[in-house]
Amino acid sequence: MDRIRVGDAVIHRVEEWRGTFMTPQTLFVGYSDEAYAASKPLVAGPYLDGETDAIDARLQSWVVEVGGLRVLIDTGAGNDKTRPGIPLFGNLRTPFLARLAAAGFTPADIDLVICTHLHVDHVGWNTRLDAGEWVPTFPRARYVFPLPDAEYWDPRNRERYPPKIGEEVNAGFFDDSVRPILERGIAELVAGPQDLTAHLRLEPAPGHTPGSQTITVTSRGRRAMFVGDILHHPLQIMNPSWNSIFCEDGARARASRRAVLERAAEDEAIMIPAHFAGDHMVRVVRSSDGFVPAPANP
């Protein structure tokens, strides 16, 4: 779905990139053939290549219109970035801003940019290249970043943090997509649960990165929950112990994933992860031994 209403809020999807990315066997830590065979029938089709098992993936952002604000959630890989650790997302020239315009928004329309976490494929459009300088893409926006990630990924803090799992793959993003925002004083660094507005709540869900957070949109009692990379694929709904190889702290990532699934089921929220293909969003329903996905719009 590219546009969905949640109470009075309207959520628009803006796609940056689509393709296949790894397989369940190579992406997930904790993968087993037995668990895969049991859960694959629930998610095959639009989420997995039928012949190769390659994961069908997206880089996509979301514009949420709620309470008079236009909020952009996650900003993809961006154009023109040098990415030696992940050439797939380097030197892109996607029409992302044209697609944003097609959804009805110019960069100046965006009031708030929120990153679910700081990773190379979630921060890219924070900035764009202008005469050799990285400048904010969204000139009026306040940017909201998780403080634990802003400290963890800053190369200037390398001595304070041990070698990171994502060190190589994430090389470069902080200096071209985060620091230019921090240096202009237009970022707010957040830690701990908080209500940003009457309709937007941030809650920590650490593990994938130290600062990973969920963003819950509430309107007229309906909820949508943006969960970033707490899940990369619907297979993790049936297998919440499966981490991605990009999760920094495995034990905390598993605990956060279970807690987020519990809450999505409890609240009957539409859960919107960052990289899902298919409908790009699901509901989470309890089953006899855990959770299963259900259509967002039954």
| Residue 149 binds Zn ion, judged by CB under 5 A | no
CB of 185: closest distance to Zn ion in angstroms?
26
The H or E element spanning position 183 is helix 179-183
Task: Decide whether 229 or 267 has the Cβ nearer to Zn ion.
Answer: 229
- Give the whole-angstrom CA distance, residue 6 versus residue 66: 9
Strands of 112-114's sheet in order across = 3-6, 9-20, 56-66, 69-73, 112-114, 142-146, 187-190
The H or E element spanning position 190 is strand 187-190
CB of 296: closest distance to Zn ion in angstroms?
22
CB of 8: closest distance to Zn ion in angstroms?
30
Task: Decide whether 92 or 205 has the Cβ nearer to Zn ion.
Answer: 205
Task: Decide whether 4 or 92 has the Cβ nearer to Zn ion.
Answer: 92
CB of 48: closest distance to Zn ion in angstroms?
20
Please report where in the chains the tokens 């031994």 appear, as a residue: 289
**Listed ranges 32-40, 48-56, 63-71, 221-229: which one lies at the site for Zn ion (CB under 5 A):** 221-229
Other Cβ atoms closer than 10 A to 272:
31
Q: How many helices (H) and strands (E) does the chain have?
A: 8, 18
CB of 120: closest distance to Zn ion in angstroms?
8
**Listed ranges 5-13, 79-87, 118-126, 174-182: which one lies at the site for Zn ion (CB under 5 A):** 118-126
| Residue 74 binds Zn ion, judged by CB under 5 A | no
Going by C-alpha positions, the residue among 122, 249, 108 that lies closest to residue 174 is 122
| Residue 119 binds Zn ion, judged by CB under 5 A | yes
Task: Decide whether 199 or 240 has the Cβ nearer to Zn ion.
Answer: 240
Count Cβ atoms within 10 A of the Cβ of residue 172 and give its class: 0-12 exposed, 13-18 middle, 19 or more buried.
middle
CB of 275: closest distance to Zn ion in angstroms?
9
Count Cβ atoms within 10 A of the Cβ of residue 108 and give its class: 0-12 exposed, 13-18 middle, 19 or more buried.
exposed
CB of 247: closest distance to Zn ion in angstroms?
8
Task: Decide whether 16 or 229 has the Cβ nearer to Zn ion.
Answer: 229
**Listed ranges 37-45, 86-94, 229-237, 254-262: which one lies at the site for Zn ion (CB under 5 A):** 229-237
Task: Decide whether 87 or 185 has the Cβ nearer to Zn ion.
Answer: 87
| Residue 229 binds Zn ion, judged by CB under 5 A | yes
| Residue 248 binds Zn ion, judged by CB under 5 A | no
Q: How far is CA 164 from CA 16, 153, 158, 223, 274, in A?
A: 27, 9, 9, 34, 22
- Note whether 281 and 46 are within 8 A (CB): no
Tokens in use for 183? 């240096």
- Give the whole-angstrom CA distance, residue 11 versus residue 2: 8
Task: Decide whether 119 or 257 has the Cβ nearer to Zn ion.
Answer: 119
Task: Decide whether 9 or 261 has the Cβ nearer to Zn ion.
Answer: 261
Number of residues that bind Zn ion (CB under 5 A): 2
Other Cβ atoms closer than 10 A to 279:
17
CB of 109: closest distance to Zn ion in angstroms?
26
Q: Residues interacting with Zn ion, by CB under 5 A?
A: 119, 229
